[in-house]
Amino acid sequence: MASINQNRIPSSVPEFCNLGVILRILVPVVTASAVAALLRVPEPAAAWGEFVAIAAVAQPPLLLSLAALCLLCPLLRRLTYAGGVSIVFAVVILFTATGYVAIERVYPSIHSVSLWQHILLAVLGTALLLFYLDLRARALSPALAEARLQALQARIRPHFLFNSITAVLSLIREEPKRAEEALEDMADLFRVLMADNRELTPLSDEIELCRRYLALEQLRLGDRLRVHWHTEKMPADALVPPLVLQPLLENAVYHGIEPVKGTGEISINIYRNRSRLIAVLRNPYLAQGGSHHSGNKMALANIRERLALVYRGQASVAAGADRDEFAVQLRFPQSMPVSRTAL
């Protein structure tokens, strides 16, 4: 595998159609408008009116600029970073000037600065936002993503390997065929874990890997582990980040099945809801489990970060316990990222 230091990415113009990017632009602009209103009119009662006036001037050109840049995204991706930034500034200046003139004709007294001052503020704000988005993209670069992926891959606990080998040894004499199949499952599982997993993988392959993992756990847990798959509505050819489900199933076994004295059930439901792919995993939960459940947080945080890296704010991870059941829900777009490269 290439060194993580070799995976630094060049600067690129943000994806202006991405909801996460849009929110990261709108929130600072609205916040700056509120601060400007408070600085100009310290009284809270009057500050609201000032904020509305500032927003009426700033928001329409901003929204029109974002809509235009979203339409221009295919062009921006083909240009160099300098070329893309030039178009971004040109669009912002165009709509800022147009909006200023249009509002001036309707409400001549609303502006407190000249057209050139207004354009200068828009250019400075755009420069700061582009710098922030580029800095954030570099912070979430493939170098960091690969390091996170390696940490996630290393999460296969040593006790799992030890228990699996012990279970296979117990089968060699009485059920040699089953022992051979178990060893093949272990080989396939660890082959994937040690591979260069920076490419998105078909969902069907991820499911097959999970089935092999659970088959190994079934060797030692026997009837204590029951697994129910609901994949009838699953788009098997969808591409997903590798090893996005297996760590959650490992958590379900370790934190859900092992503490239960009797039989425990793991349910996996994967389906498509309009343009989104949804995976829901459920396992038993003992409220008095104490520290036995603490390891859940690390895997969930890791997967949440990996999905954020791949889908840039358009994916989510929700987890929580309800009485005697713990559920994790993954939601990410059915449409694929521009590049098939995951990390």
Name which residue leads in pLDDT, 128 or 165. Answer: 128
- Dihedral pair phi/psi, residue 265, rounded to 5°: -120, 135
Highest mean pLDDT among 58-62, 104-108, 223-227, 256-260: 223-227
The answer to which of 6-10, 161-165, 244-248 has the lowest mean pLDDT is 6-10
Q: Where do you find CATH 3.30.565.10 in the chain?
A: 143-333
Q: What is the pLDDT of residues 76-109, one digit of tens each?
A: 878 888 888 999 999 999 998 888 788 777 766 6
**Percent helix / strand / coil, the chain, rounded to 5:** 60, 15, 25
Main-chain phi, psi angles of 259, to 5 degrees: -70, -20
Average pLDDT over residues 172-198: 77
Rounded to whole angstroms, the Cα distance separating 99 from 107 reads: 12
Q: Which fold would CATH assign to domain 143-333? A: Heat Shock Protein 90 (3.30.565)
Q: Poorest-confidence range of 72-76, 149-153, 265-269?
A: 149-153
Give pLDDT, residue 48. 77
Neighbours of 289 (CB within 10 A): 18
